C-alpha cells in the first residue's frame, strides 16, 4: 500500500493495551551466522547479547533505564539504519532507537536497538537559513554552526540533548512563544519506515506521514536526518533568579499575576528546586530548596526586556541571579540543567490556567516546607506561537494549554515507589486546572499506548493511529511513547 493512500480504516479498538513486556520476553533467538551476516552489511559495529561493547553502545544518559536488546547496531549512515530495520523485521524483532539516551521510557529488552550517535552531519544553508541535521547530533553543535550567520535553532532548556528526538516530540524551548515548537520549524524528514525503505517526506511528498512524525516522535520509523528552518536571533536578554525557599508563596503568586501579561517575545518558567549539597553549586544554593525564575527576552529592545522582568526582581529574597545579554550559544545558563548522566523519573501535564487556588495547591503538595525527594516541579508559560499551528500543520499536542508542568525526581531503586507517588500526587493536586493534551516530550512515564493516545486531542489521536496502522501495522516501533 502506498503511504500516499493511507488506509484510515480503524482497528476494532485502539484502547487495547498490548503487553509489551510479554512480547519482549518472546523475542526470537538470532543465529550467530545471521548476526555475522548483518555485521558484513553495515558500516558500524554490531553487538549481540553478551558481546563486549554492547553495554556501552546502548548506555543511556538517564541512568534509571538500562537497555538489554538482543542486538545493537551502531549506525553510521542512513543505509545502516535501513539494513538494520530490514534485518529486524525479517527476524521478528522490534526496533528501538536512541541517540543521546536522554528520553528512554523503559528497557528496550529483546529489541534490535539502533544507536545513531555516530551520525554527526550538520550543514547550514546560509542563503535559505536552514540546517540539515543528522540523527545523532546534539543541539550544541547546531547552535555553534548557525551562530556565525546570526541564526539559531529552537533548542530547549539544554543543548546537550539530541536534536531529532527533542524536535519530533514537540520541542518546547525559551524561544517558543515567539517562534513556535521546534517541530514547527521542520521542513523535511528523512525516515526509514518498517519496510526498510528510506523516504524523504515533506509538505509536498507523503504529507500525511510528514504531519504525523512531527509530534508523533518515534512511532513511524527511524529518522536519519531532518531539515530545519533556523530563526534570525543572534542574542537575547536572559538568565535566572534564585529566590529563597521561604518566599515561595510570594514568588509563585507574583509569577501567576505577571506571566500572563508578557508579550510573545518573552519565554519564562518557574521551578521549585531541591538542590543537593554539592560543592559544584554556589554556596547560597548548596543543599537549599529554592525558587528559580527562568527568563528569556528575544525582542529588539533590551531596555524593554529589563523593564518587563522588573516586577519579579522584588518578589522575594534573591539568593543569586543574573539577567543580561546572552549569545544563543549561551542559553544553557538560563535553566542550568545538569549535563552529567543521572537517574531520573519525570511526568508532566498541562494547565488551562494558573489561579490563586492553583498556586496554593501546588505549594501544599510540593512547597519548600515539605521534606520530599522531588528534585523539581516546574511551570512553563505557553501561549503565543505555541498556541498556533504552523504554516504546515503538524501533530504536536498541547497547543490549548496555558502552562506546562513537569515533576522530576531521582529514579533510584530506593525510591522506586516513593518518587512516582509523590510526582503523581503533585499532578493530582493540580488536576482541577488541567488542560487536555500534553507535549510528548513531557509525558514521562506512561502506562501504555492508551495513555499516549490520550495526550493528543481525540481527532489528532485518531489520525495518528491511522498513520501508524498504515506504515507500521505490526508495531515494529513500539518503544518510547508508542501508540
Half-sphere exposure of residue 360: CA atoms within 13 angstroms, side-chain side: 4
Query: Which pLDDT value is given to residue 29?
Result: 86
264 in a structural domain: yes
3-state secondary structure of 229: strand
| Mean of per-residue pLDDT scores for the chain | 94
291 in a structural domain: yes
Contact call for residues 178 and 264 (beta carbons, < 8 A): yes
Give me the helices (H) in 232-313, please.
248-258, 302-313
Q: Residue 130: which domain range?
A: 122-232
How far apart CA 121 and CA 137 sit, in angstroms, is 7
Query: Which pLDDT value is given to residue 20?
Result: 52
- Residues 48 and 127 grouped into a single domain: no
- Residues 240 and 226 grouped into a single domain: no
Query: Which pLDDT value is given to residue 5?
Result: 42
How far apart CA 82 and CA 222 sit, in angstroms, is 9
- Residues 129 and 209 grouped into a single domain: yes
459 in a structural domain: no
Query: Which pLDDT value is given to residue 367?
Result: 98
- Residues 250 and 204 grouped into a single domain: no
- Residues 375 and 331 grouped into a single domain: yes
Q: What is the pTM for the complete model shown?
A: 0.94
Query: Which pLDDT value is given to residue 10?
Result: 37
Q: What is the DSSP letter of 444?
A: B
- Residues 157 and 177 grouped into a single domain: yes
Residues of the chain with pLDDT under 70: 1-27
231 grid coordinates: 530563526
- Residues 10 and 105 grouped into a single domain: yes
Contact call for residues 108 and 69 (beta carbons, < 8 A): yes
- Residues 69 and 141 grouped into a single domain: no
263 in a structural domain: yes
- Residues 240 and 223 grouped into a single domain: no
Domain end call among 207, 232, 257: 232
Number of domains present in the structure of the chain: 3
CATH of the domain at 59: 3.30.43.10
- Residues 99 and 145 grouped into a single domain: no
42 in a structural domain: yes
Task: Quick: pLDDT tens for 96-152.
Answer: 999 999 989 999 999 999 999 999 999 999 999 999 999 999 999 999 999 999 999
CATH of the domain at 203: 3.30.465.10
Query: Which pLDDT value is given to residue 7?
Result: 40
Amino acid at each position: 500500500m502506498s503511504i500516499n493512500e493511507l488506509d484510515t480504516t480503524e482497528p476494532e479498538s485502539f484502547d487495547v493495551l498490548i503487553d509489551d513486556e510479554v512480547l519482549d520476553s518472546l523475542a526470537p533467538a538470532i543465529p550467530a551466522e545471521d548476526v555475522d551476516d548483518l555485521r558484513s552489511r553495515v558500516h558500524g559495529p554490531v553487538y549481540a547479547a553478551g558481546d563486549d561493547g554492547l553495554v556501552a553502545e546502548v548506555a543511556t544518559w538517564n541512568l534509571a533505564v538500562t537497555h538489554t536488546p538482543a542486538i545493537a547496531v551502531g549506525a553510521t549512515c542512513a543505509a545502516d539504519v535501513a539494513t538494520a530495520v530490514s534485518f529486524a523485521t525479517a527476524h521478528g524483532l522490534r526496533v528501538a532507537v536512541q541517540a543521546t539516551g536522554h528520553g528512554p521510557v523503559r528497557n528496550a529488552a529483546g529489541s534490535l536497538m539502533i544507536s545513531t550517535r555516530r551520525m554527526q552531519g550538520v550543514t547550514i544553508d546560509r542563503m535559505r537559513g536552514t540546517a540539515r541535521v543528522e540523527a545523532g547530533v546534539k543541539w550544541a553543535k547546531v547552535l555553534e554552526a548557525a551562530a556565525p550567520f546570526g541564526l539559531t535553532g529552537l533548542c530547549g532548556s539544554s543543548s546537550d540533548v539530541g536534536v531529532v528526538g527533542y524536535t519530533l516530540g514537540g520541542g518546547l524551548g525559551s524561544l517558543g512563544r515567539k517562534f513556535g515548537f521546534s517541530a514547527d520549524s521542520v521542513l523535511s524528514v528523512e525516515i526509514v519506515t518498517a519496510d526498510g525503505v528510506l523516504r524523504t517526506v515533506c509538505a509536498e511528498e507523503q504529507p500525511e506521514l510528514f504531519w504525523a512524525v512531527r509530534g508523533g516522535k518515534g512511532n513511524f520509523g527511524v529518522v536519519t536526518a531532518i531539515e530545519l528552518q533556523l530563526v534570525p536571533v543572534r542574542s537575547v536578554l536572559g538568565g535566572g533568579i534564585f529566590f529563597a525557599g521561604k518566599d515561595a508563596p510570594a514568588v509563585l503568586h507574583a509569577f501567576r499575576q505577571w506571566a500572563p501579561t508578557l508579550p510573545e517575545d518573552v519565554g519564562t518558567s518557574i521551578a521549585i528546586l531541591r538542590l543537593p549539597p554539592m560543592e559544584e553549586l554556589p554556596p547560597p544554593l548548596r543543599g537549599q530548596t529554592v525558587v528559580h525564575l527562568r527568563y528569556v527576552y528575544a525582542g529588539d529592545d533590551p531596555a524593554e526586556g529589563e523593564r518587563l522582568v522588573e516586577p519579579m526582581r522584588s518578589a522575594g529574597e534573591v539568593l543569586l541571579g543574573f539577567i543580561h545579554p546572552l549569545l544563543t550559544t549561551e542559553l544553557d545558563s538560563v535553566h542550568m540543567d545538569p549535563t552529567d548522566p543521572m537517574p531520573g523519573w519525570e511526568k508532566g501535564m498541562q494547565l488551562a490556567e494558573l489561579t490563586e487556588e492553583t498556586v496554593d495547591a501546588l505549594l501544599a503538595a510540593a512547597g519548600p516546607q515539605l521534606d520530599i525527594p522531588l528534585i523539581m516541579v516546574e511551570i512553563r508559560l505557553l501561549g503565543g506561537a505555541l498556541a498556533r499551528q504552523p504554516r504546515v500543520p503538524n501533530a504536536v499536542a498541547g497547543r490549548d494549554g496555558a502552562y506546562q508542568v513537569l515533576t522530576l525526581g531521582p529514579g533510584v531503586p530506593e525510591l522506586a515507589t516513593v518518587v512516582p507517588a509523590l510526582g503523581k500526587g503533585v499532578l493530582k493536586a493540580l488536576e482541577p486546572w488541567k488542560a487536555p493534551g500534553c507535549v510528548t516530550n513531557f509525558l514521562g512515564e506512561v502506562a501504555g499506548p492508551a495513555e499516549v493516545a490520550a495526550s493528543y486531542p481525540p481527532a489528532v489521536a485518531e489520525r495518528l493511529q491511522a498513520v501508524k496502522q498504515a506504515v507500521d501495522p505490526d508495531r515494529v516501533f513500539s518503544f518510547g511513547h508508542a501508540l
